[in-house]
C-alpha cells in the first residue's frame, strides 16, 4: 500500500472543496499504470467525502439540503464552538469521511461528471488533512 497526506484549507464558511486533481495525481503516480483502489479518508469527526458533479450548482444544492437536514442553530446537544457546531458531528453519518475509488490503468475510473470533494460545514476547524492510500491489485 502506498499512502500520502495533504492539507486542505476549507475556510470559515460551509463548503464543498474539489480534491479530484490531487486524488488523480496521486493515483497516477502510485498505480504506475496499474489497477487498484484509491481510498480517500478524512481523519476528522466533522467533515466528509462526497463523489458528485461539481461546477454545475450541485455544491450549493448539497449545502442547501444539508442545511435543511442539519440546521446551524442551538438544537444540538453537542454545543461547544459556533452555533450549530453539533450538526458538524452528525454530518459524517450522512456524508462519510471516506470514499473508495477504482483506479484502472493508472487513472481514476470516475464517471463523466463525477468529482471527489471534501464537504465541510464546520467553521470552527478551517484546516483539514486528507489521507490518500492506494492498494494495488497484487494483494
- Domains in the chain (CATH in brackets) are 2-136 (2.60.120.460)
Rounded Cα–Cα distance for residues 19 and 30 (Å): 17
Sequential pLDDT tens for the chain (139 residues)? 999 999 999 988 999 999 999 999 999 999 999 999 999 999 999 999 999 999 999 999 999 999 999 999 888 888 777 777 889 999 999 999 999 999 999 999 999 999 999 999 998 889 999 999 999 977 6
Cell numbers for 9 = 484549507
Rounded Cα–Cα distance for residues 87 and 76 (Å): 7
CA dist 61 to 50, 56, 64, 97, Å? 13, 10, 5, 20
- Give residue 92's Cα distance to chain centre: 10
Element (H, E) at 20: helix 20-31
Q: What is the pTM of this model?
A: 0.94
Amino acid at each position: 500500500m502506498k499512502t500520502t497526506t495533504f492539507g486542505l484549507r476549507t475556510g470559515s464558511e460551509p463548503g464543498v472543496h474539489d480534491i479530484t486533481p490531487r486524488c488523480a495525481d496521486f493515483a497516477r503516480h502510485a498505480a504506475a499504470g496499474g489497477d487498484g483502489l484509491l481510498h480517500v479518508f478524512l481523519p476528522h469527526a466533522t467533515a466528509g467525502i462526497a463523489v458528485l458533479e461539481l461546477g454545475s450548482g450541485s455544491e450549493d444544492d448539497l449545502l442547501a439540503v444539508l442545511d435543511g437536514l442539519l440546521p446551524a442553530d442551538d438544537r444540538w446537544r453537542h454545543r461547544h464552538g459556533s452555533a450549530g457546531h453539533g450538526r458538524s458531528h452528525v454530518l459524517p453519518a450522512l456524508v462519510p469521511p471516506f470514499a473508495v475509488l477504482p483506479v484502472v490503468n493508472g487513472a481514476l475510473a470516475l464517471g463523466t461528471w463525477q468529482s471527489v470533494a471534501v464537504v465541510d460545514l464546520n467553521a470552527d476547524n478551517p484546516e483539514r488533512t486528507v489521507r490518500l492510500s492506494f492498494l494495488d491489485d497484487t494483494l
